[in-house]
Amino acid sequence: MLALYHKPVKHLFRDMIVDLDIQEGQVIKRDEIHSWFKTNYPLVKPGTVSAHLLKMSINAPSRIHYYVDPNGNDDLLFQIDSKKFRLYNPNSDPDPIYIRQEEEGEQEGGDDNNEIKSEFAYEKDLQNFLAKNLSLIEPGLSLYYEEEISGVEFPVGNRFIDILAIDDRNNYVVIELKVSRGYDKTVGQILRYIAWLKHNHAEKGQHVRGVIVAREISDDLRLACSEINDVELYEYSLSVSLRKIES
């Protein structure tokens, strides 16, 4: 998708630093950044700003979901916490994240801890597979993409949509993944994402709906969704094949 203005959003971020006269070590709040874009570039959507905040913060783990220039051209900010940022200092800050980092202490842990980590890794595998094969859910479905920002782990407020897709009518589809059972509390989660997109990202007349994908859909979730027209349920199953490699 072409840039909405004369420059891509990532370049507008650098203009913002100059315009606000942000100095080394100075803290800038997330709300200030959103306010600057709303005032100066109102066509840039809040979700796009939030995604670029992660993409251009050298220590944000979620930046791996977006294309990040390995030559350092996207290394602008250091994320202090979910609401505060400062300029990246290459002389004192840790190395920028360009690929997925292993969690600290991942080598050791009890059975429960290992099970949680395995489930997390499994969900990421499922997420990556479906993001590349969205037609399995619905023909014509494609991954949302705008200015190097993809729909994988798309930020909505301080939370993340597993997969944000676009259907063949240019409407948004929020896809929430559960590697085990899908419970009824998932409904509140996906409805919150749908509402955020409707209020902050969707164009006038653009519809937003949801899809929950789980290994097993619970009866409670099925019942909860029976009164909701905009949320569909899918169960997945996996098959494994082996190919012998001659030594």
Q: How far apart are CA 226 and CA 23, in angstroms?
A: 54
3-state secondary structure of 18: helix
Q: Give me 99's structure tokens.
A: 């690929």
Task: With a cut of 50, say whether residue 103 has pLDDT above it.
Answer: no
Residue range 18-40: mean pLDDT, rounded: 97
Same domain, 116 and 26: no
Q: How far apart are CA 15 and CA 186, in angstroms?
A: 40
Q: How far apart are CA 155 and CA 33, in angstroms?
A: 15
- 227-245 residue pLDDT tens: 999 999 999 987 777 889 9
Would you place residue 118 in the very low, low, confident or very high pLDDT band (cuts 50, 70, 90)? low
> What does the pLDDT read at residue 182?
65
Q: How far apart are CA 209 and CA 69, in angstroms?
A: 33
Residue 1: in which H helix or E strand, if any? none
Radius of gyration of the chain (CA): 20
Out of 31, 55, 87, pick the residue that ends a domain.
87
Residue 244 sits at φ, ψ, to 5 deg, of -70, 135
Q: Give me 93's structure tokens.
A: 């800050």
Same domain, 115 and 38: no
Give every CB contact of residue 151 below 8 A, 6+ residues apart in sequence: 131, 143, 144, 145, 161, 163, 164, 165, 166
Residue 17 sits at φ, ψ, to 5 deg, of -60, -40
Task: With a cut of 80, say whether residue 208 has pLDDT above it.
Answer: yes
Q: Give me 126's structure tokens.
A: 């499922």
- 185-206 residue pLDDT tens: 899 999 999 999 999 999 999 9
| Count of structural domains within the chain | 2
Same domain, 40 and 155: no
Dihedral-angle region of residue 72 (phi above 0 means left; psi in -120 to 50 means alpha; beta otherwise): left
Out of 52, 87, 122, pick the residue that ends a domain.
87
> What does the pLDDT read at residue 242?
87
Q: How far apart are CA 9 and CA 37, in angstroms?
A: 10
Same domain, 52 and 122: no
Q: Is residue 185 situated within a structural domain?
A: yes
Give every CB contact of residue 37 below 8 A, 6+ residues apart in sequence: 12, 16, 44, 49
Out of 29, 52, 87, pick the residue that ends a domain.
87
> What does the pLDDT read at residue 108?
47
Our CA angle for 128, 130, 135, nearest 5°, is 145
- 72-86 residue pLDDT tens: 999 999 999 999 999
Would you place residue 121 in the very low, low, confident or very high pLDDT band (cuts 50, 70, 90)? low
Same domain, 122 and 214: yes
Q: Is residue 37 situated within a structural domain?
A: yes
Q: Is residue 96 situated within a structural domain?
A: no
Task: With a cut of 90, say whether residue 87 has pLDDT above it.
Answer: yes
Q: Is residue 4 situated within a structural domain?
A: no
DSSP 57: B
- CA-CA-CA-CA torsion for 133, 134, 138, 141, nearest 10 degrees? -130
Q: Encode burial over 165-196: b for 16+ CB neighbours within 10 A, e otherwise.
A: bbbeeeebbbbbbbbeebeeebbebbbebbeb
Task: With a cut of 90, say whether residue 55 has pLDDT above it.
Answer: yes
Look up the CATH number of the domain holding residue 207: 3.40.1350.10
Would you place residue 120 in the very low, low, confident or very high pLDDT band (cuts 50, 70, 90)? low
| Report field, pTM of the whole predicted structure over 0.85 | no
Same domain, 121 and 58: no
Mean pLDDT over each residue of the chain, to the nearest integer: 89
Estimate to the nearest angstrom the gap between the alpha carbon of 202 and the chain centroid: 16
Domain that holds residue 83: 9-87
Q: Are strands 145-146 and 172-182 parallel, antiparallel or unpaired?
A: unpaired
Residue 213 carries which side chain, given as an amino acid letter?
V
